[in-house]
Structures are given as structure tokens and as C-alpha cells.
Amino acid sequence: MRSLSLSFNLFIIFIINLGYVNSFLIPIKGLNLLPLQQQKHQQSIFSNNFKSTPLPTSFDDWLVFQKQVCLNSILNNIGGDFTIDNKDLLPGVVIASPSTSNPDYYYQWTRDSAIIINILIDHVSQTPLYFKKNSTSSLIRIIESYIFNNQVLQQLPNLSGDVDNLQNLGEPKFHVNLTAFNESWGRPQRDGPGLRSITIMNYLSLLNNTEQITTFSNLTINDTQKIYHDIIKPDLQYSIEYWQFEGFDLWEEIKGIHFFTSLIQ
């Protein structure tokens, strides 16, 4: 997932904000998103018999096949009801990759996580009537767990800075157990707060505008107000305070003022 998200980060964020995710990426509308353990009748990339599954013989059949493969792969890298290979992940934790050596990408990046969760939010918003309740609530639990995990991450002092002046919000990545990564890295990366606030605001808008979805959410109006004040507002304040300061680019190599970061802010 890390290599995919890094390769397409620059393009995906344009598409997300313009509302064109389903036309830019292979559309994932209409997929069976029951938790994987309930999809015993289907073959997937995680099935032992996957290699014996007949390959699609037409492009249209391949699209249907590949949709499920891609989405299952994404969900298998997010803690929650859909994981098979990464069962120990906390709900809502998005790993960049299951690889732990050569390279070690078994972390959650602020940027990658926000982009992936935003894609799931867009998918849920486009297909609210398709899902059965248990499947929808599983996706909602992932999204809401992601939000509350980030409230924990926002309160961690780290090598990007202190909590009191919000500089800690520029930290690019964390351990999967919601603790700070205190080793050398290209930091700060100032696009994270903007991406995270975009994603969470999109989810709150979804709850506000889609009655079908709100029936599956555990949040009340008081919770959504708290999310704004406690999680979204600090990220917005960070962007306002530090937009003119240098930071590392999305490739995590060069410190300076970068178009991608400025666009997000």
C-alpha cells in the first residue's frame, strides 16, 4: 500500500477534493463489502484457492474481479473487521505496508492514512443503499476508530515539536500502537494536518447529509461538535500558523516550500 499511495498521492488529492474518485480510480461501487470472514462463497486474493480461480476472459469481467482484489487489499491493511493478515492491528489503524524489513513500512503515515480513509468515506457516500447493516457498520467503525485514534496521535509530543504550540502536528508517521516514532526522519511534513482535517470534515458532512449512514454511526451531535473542536480545529490552526514555514515534501526528501503542501493547506 505504501508504494501505491506514494506513487499516486499527488494525483489522488486533486481527485478527492474535486469529487472524482470513482471516475479516476477503478470504481468500487457495488462491491460486496461484507466482512471477509463472511464471504466464504467468494474467491479473493486472500483465499487459499485463489490461484485456482479462473481468470477473467474479458476486460469488463476483469474490472469486476480487480475491484474486489484492490478493495480487499486496502481493507486488509486497516485494522478492523476486514483484516486477515494483519489481525493484531488496532481498529482504524492504516498501515503503509505489511513489510517490516527491507523496507520497513509497518507504520501509519498521517498523509497515507487520511487519503485512504477519505477514499472509503467517498465509497460509503456513493453506495449507502447497497450495504447490509453489518457491513456498513464495519466500515463506519473503521472510519470512526481512525478519527479517535488521531485524537490520541495529536496529543503526542514528538520530534516535530511540542503539543502546546501545535508543532507536533507536523509529525509524518507513528507506530501502529499509537505511539510516537522517535527516530531520524524527514520532518516536519506540513500536509498531514490539512489532509486529516479534509478527511474528517468529509465524514462529518456525510453524517449530516445522509440519513442512511447516520443510523449506523455511534456518534451523536455532541460527539461531532467535540470532534470539530478537539480534532479538526487544531489541524486548521496548524495550517494557519505554519503555512509559510518550510517542511519536507511528500516524498520525504527535500525541505522547502512545496506546491503539494500549499495546495492541501
Q: Annotated active-site positions, please?
A: 249, 252
Q: 112: part of which helix (H) or strand (E)? A: helix 110-126
- Quick count: other Cβ atoms within 10 Å of Cβ 51? 8
Question: Is the Cβ–Cβ distance between 254 and 261 less than 8 Å?
Answer: no
Q: How far apart are CA 38 and CA 46, in angstroms?
A: 13
Let me know if 46 is exposed, middle or buried by CB neighbors in 10 A (0-12, 13-18, 19+). Answer: middle
Q: How far apart are CA 89 and CA 77, in angstroms?
A: 9
Q: 134: part of which helix (H) or strand (E)? A: helix 133-154
At 224, which amino acid appears?
T
Q: Give CA angle at 147 (141, 149), nearest 5°.
A: 95
Closest CA to 248 of 180, 145, 160, 138: 160
Q: Residue 100 in 3-state DSSP?
A: strand
Q: Residue 261 in 3-state DSSP?
A: helix
Within 13 Å, how many C-alpha atoms sit on residue 5's CB side? 23
